[in-house]
Amino acid sequence: MRECKIVSSKFDIENSHTLEVAKAHGAYESLTKMQEFTPTEIIKIIKDANLRGKGGGGASAGEKWELIPQDGDKPSYLAVNCDESEPGTFKDRKIITYDPHLLIEGIILTCYAIKSKHAYIYIRGEYKEYQDILQNAIDEAYEDGLLNQTDITIHRGAGAYICGEKSALLESMEGKRGHPRLKPKQKEPEWFFGNPTLVNNVETIASVPFIVANGADAYRAYGTQKSPGTLLFAMSGHVQNPGVYEAEFGISMMEYINHYGGGVKNGKKLKALIPGGVSCGLLTADECEKLTLDYEALRDIGSSLGTGGMILMDEDTDMVEALKNILEFYHEESCGQCTPCREGTGWSDKIVAKILDKRGSADDIDKLLELADTMNGKTICVFAPSVSTVIVSFITKFRDEFERAVS
């Protein structure tokens, strides 16, 4: 397995979060290269690299950037999504902890490309420690004159999971309740106080300096044709060496787990795995043996790469209890705007609790699947469809455990 350190190149360097050390190891060198290109040419480089959003959706970053008007009368904005509330995901805080200047460098490049003068970093409320690290880095960048064309403001959320959804994030930034917005009929930018706005995840923006400095082909040299580049995959759960490790798309899932994670904890067998945060469909151990880590492979099997947050479950895991744990989270975090989500998450949580309390019946299993169907595709955002995917994957792949729990 070859070394792939596009975003994590400074993670092992002492004091890499400081400007002095970051600059000594190449930070901000891409800004010189930036001057050779027009904003439109920078966007073309990002498109040619096929940089895909690393916050879960995997959409083309360059195509999103193109939606921002280059000659409009209104100001444009960049909103960097650092809400990172998806259980099993902790890669963005790794970037902020060990290389915040890489994120700042990416922000400067992105703002140049979309002709924006102001960027916001929306950070989850629980990340006060990481917010302080990031603010210190921003202060250093201001003092060094690096931000004379771009202002960066950290906007701290209040801990709502739903604010990781881009339109709910912007609603929160505008001082409103964090409710997702209705989606437009055609492609258009997001809007912040009526102004065109680009919303990208932390790791997406942190990937930009490498691409601008080295070119699209250098980025595409990693990964697959449709999923080029790398991703910071995070491993947690029953794994020997939990943590965040960068790897190129297209590698074998089990090779990644064994090489970086050291395999399943205590030498036990893998039973199941959630590949990209709890919003993704569950995979069995047999499925994991055949899979590669890229968007297409996970999509084809009915799951998703999501944010790359892997949660491993060993042979002793009770799958009914595992589903209950996830549904408790969804029940708590539903914003309540859409009835199928508000009622469906709570009802599903109560049914699984009933099953675990030995008061369930076979009808309850079918009722969970019925609720999953009701939640899927009938709400404003993808929160409820994600819950639906989780419920269906748990029951269809481990129905025998649910049936034993109600027998």
Q: pLDDT (tens digit, 9 = 90+) per residue, 256-269?
A: 999 999 999 999 99
pLDDT at 3 over 90: no
> Looking at the 3D structure of the chain, how many domains does it have?
3
- CATH number for the domain that contains residue 288: 3.10.20.600
Residue 186, domain member (yes or no) = yes
Residue 290, domain member (yes or no) = yes
pLDDT at 1 over 80: no
Residue 125, domain member (yes or no) = yes
Domain check: are 215 and 248 in the same one? no
pLDDT at 160 over 90: yes
Domain check: are 214 and 90 in the same one? yes
246 beta partners: 232
For range 147-158, the mean pLDDT: 97
Residue 8, domain member (yes or no) = no
The residue from 169, 185, 220 where one domain ends is: 220
Residue 333, domain member (yes or no) = yes
Q: How confident is the model at residue 45 (pLDDT cuts 50, 70, 90)?
A: very high
Q: CB–CB of 269/378 below 8 Å?
A: no
For range 290-319, the mean pLDDT: 96
Residue 14, domain member (yes or no) = no
Integer-rounded Cα Rg, in Å, for the chain is 21
Count other Cβ atoms within 10 Å, centred on residue 169: 28
The residue from 154, 188, 220 where one domain ends is: 220
Instruction: Please provide the average confidence, as pLDDT, over all residues in the chain.
Output: 97
Domain check: are 197 and 257 in the same one? no
Locate 296 and state its tokens. 């297409």
Residue 227, domain member (yes or no) = no
311 beta partners: 236, 274
Locate 190 and state its tokens. 């997001």
Q: How far is CA 333 from the centre of its chain?
A: 17
Domain hosting residue 31, numbered range: 19-220
- SS3 assignment, position 324: helix
What's the pLDDT at 270?
98
The residue from 260, 288, 314 where one domain ends is: 314
The alpha carbon dihedral of 37, 40, 46, 48 has a sign of negative
For range 105-125, the mean pLDDT: 97
Q: How far apart are CA 201 and CA 103, in angstroms?
A: 10
